[in-house]
Amino acid sequence: MHTAYRPIHNAAMGVIPPLPSGETNEALIEMAIAASACTACGLAERRRNVAFGEGNSRSPLVLVGEGPGDTEDALGRPFVGKAGQLLERALGEAGLSRNDVYIANTVKCRACDWVNGRPINRPPTDIETMACRRWLEPQLAAIDPRVILCIGAPSARNLIKRDFKITVERGKFFSSNLAKTVLATLHPAYILRNQHGGSDGGYSLLVADIVKAWEAAIRLRDGRTRQESTVPTESQPSLFEV
Closest-CA residue to 54 (of 18, 14, 30): 18
Residue from 15, 31, 131, 149 binding ligand SF4 (CB under 6 A): 131
Residue from 109, 140, 156, 184 binding ligand SF4 (CB under 6 A): 109
Closest-CA residue to 102 (of 178, 13, 48): 178
Residue 50 lies near ligand SF4 (rule: CB under 6 A):
yes
Specify the long-range contacts of residues 229-234, CB closer than 8 Å, at least 24 apart: 229/147, 229/173, 229/180, 229/181, 230/180, 230/181, 232/173, 232/174, 232/175, 232/181, 233/172, 233/173, 233/174, 233/175, 234/161, 234/174, 234/175
Give the range of 3-11, 18-26, 126-134, 209-217 binding ligand SF4 by CB under 6 A: 126-134
Residue from 32, 107, 213, 220 binding ligand SF4 (CB under 6 A): 107
Give the range of 12-20, 71-79, 85-93, 103-111 binding ligand SF4 by CB under 6 A: 103-111
Q: In a 3-state reduction of DSSP, which class is residue 69?
A: coil
Residue 15 lies near ligand SF4 (rule: CB under 6 A):
no
**Cβ closest to ligand SF4, residue 139 vs residue 229:** 139
Which residues contribute to the site for ligand SF4 (CB under 6 A)?
Answer: 35, 38-41, 43-44, 50, 107-109, 128, 131-132, 135
